[in-house]
Amino acid sequence: MSPLRLTGLHTCVLLLFTCALCVVAVVVHDRVLQNSLDAELGIYAQATDPDGNLVTRWESLGATSPQGAAALWVSVLAACALALPLAVVAGRLMTRAALAPLDGFIRTIRAIGDADDLGRRIRPLPRPTYPAMVRLADEFNRMLARLQGSAQRVDEVLGAQRRFVADASHELRTPLMSLRGNIHLLRDDAAADAPAEHLAILEEMEAEAARMTRLVGDLLLLAEADAGSHLVLAPVDMASIVRHAIRAARRLRHDVAVHLYSAPGGLWVCGDGDRLTQVVLILLDNALKFSPSGGTVDLRVEGAARAAGGSGVLMRVTDSGPGVPPEERELIFERFYRSDRGRAAEGAGLGLSIARWIVQEHHGTLELESNGNGATFSVWLPSTSPPET
């Protein structure tokens, strides 16, 4: 039987036993008084006899008389009224004592959830304790043991996967660089009168080799992030980073205009210049992919303070594409995620996840705004003082 049911049964039995005991005590006490001549309960009644004389006589109020019965029931009710609060208090104390182990369960479970510590267990319950509570503690500890074992196996699998990605990326970088160099030599050595088809094949091979090199670099960067490595940060000027990145982005598409509306000097952040350039290129490349022919991509960089406090640098990249549906606004930052519209474009779906990790390494934020008419990616980074010269 569960502790709650057992405690409720105890309370009911205690209440009934207390009331019955009070009733018995009152009845016995009334019988004793009725049988005692010295303590007989009654009243003096006056009446007139047949001769017209006033006569006073004693009338007993025993239990058989209406007055005696009423007095008896009044005594019984009074006793029950006194016994009921006592029984309720006693039942409450018994309930609290029975449920005390559950409070310990709740505290332990909350501590396990807050600390993500699956190695913690519920301590053995003191004896005597309800068997159901002991079984509950044992089952919960067994469940924690199984969850801990599953979590360890998942960590081992993920660790092996990270090592494989890192090793494969390292191994692929060298042959890819060699392949790109050989293709470049073939293009340079090609005769001027070489067929245009051959030159086109070489250009396609070089582009694919460059794409594979970027993919391997992205995988290696994510493997380093999973391994817990961090970037080395130093003061850099965001204006120079943005200008360098926008020159490279304008060569990606000639049918989409890329505008730099604001990039004042003196916007210094503590960061990794190469990785911040990569963030800008990822956002510009993403905007160019989804902008239609004849569209525009706007980039703005300015100083901005946050509502929570602290000054920083805000960079906004806005495209003229179809926008991002609400149900995909968080998914696009997941690794290898590609929307239905994004599958037609080049890429492996790693760019935005890499950009978010780089921004987080700089203690900043990367947010998306989209109202169905284009999308705007906003990067906020905390500002710093320029380096001393």
Q: Are 264 and 242 within 8 A, CB to CB?
A: no
Strands (E), the chain: 42-48, 54-60, 234-237, 257-262, 268-271, 296-305, 311-318, 365-370, 375-382
Domain boundary residue, one of 173, 193, 226: 226
242 and 216 within one domain: no
Q: What is the pLDDT of residue 290?
A: 86
- Residue 214's contacts (CB-CB under 8 Å, 6 or more residues apart) are none
Domain that holds residue 27: 3-115
Query: What mean pLDDT comes out for the span 187-210?
Result: 76
For 161, phi then psi, to 5°, come to: -65, -45
Residues 247 and 210 in one domain: no
How far apart (Å, rounded) are the C-alpha atoms in residues 105 and 200? 71
Distance of alpha carbon 122 from alpha carbon 139, whole angstroms: 10
pLDDT digits (tens, 9 = 90+) for 65-109: 555 556 556 665 666 666 667 666 666 676 666 666 677 777 878
Cα angle for residues 254, 257, 261 (degrees, 5° grid) = 145
CATH code, 196: 1.10.287.130
Which residues does residue 322 pair with via DSSP β-bridges, in sequence order? none
Tokens of 127: 């004896």
Q: In 3-state terms, the chain is what percent helix, strand and coil (to 5)? A: 55, 15, 25
Residue 276 has pLDDT above 70, yes or no: yes
243 and 346 housed in the same domain: yes
Look-up of token digits 């057992």: 6
> Distances from the Cα of 353 to the Cαs of 69, 155, 314, 318, 327, in angstroms?
88, 21, 19, 18, 17
Do 155 and 80 lie in a common domain?
no
DSSP, residue by residue, 99-140:
HHHHHHHHHHHHHHHHHT-TT--PPPPPSS--HHHHHHHHHH
- Asked whether residue 241 falls in the same domain as residue 378, the answer is yes
Task: Clarify whether residues 257 and 332 are in a common domain.
Answer: yes
User: Kind of pairing, strands 375-382 and 311-318?
Assistant: antiparallel
257 and 200 inside one domain: no
Judgement on whether residues 189 and 259 belong to the same structural domain of the protein: no
Span 351-371, mean pLDDT? 89
Q: List beta partners, residue 55.
A: 47
pLDDT tens-place string over residues 280-336: 989 998 888 888 888 899 999 988 877 566 788 999 999 988 888 888 878 888 877
pLDDT above 90: residue 359: yes
User: Among 180, 173, 166, 271, which Cα is nearest to 228's?
Assistant: 166
Q: Domains in the chain: how many in total? A: 3
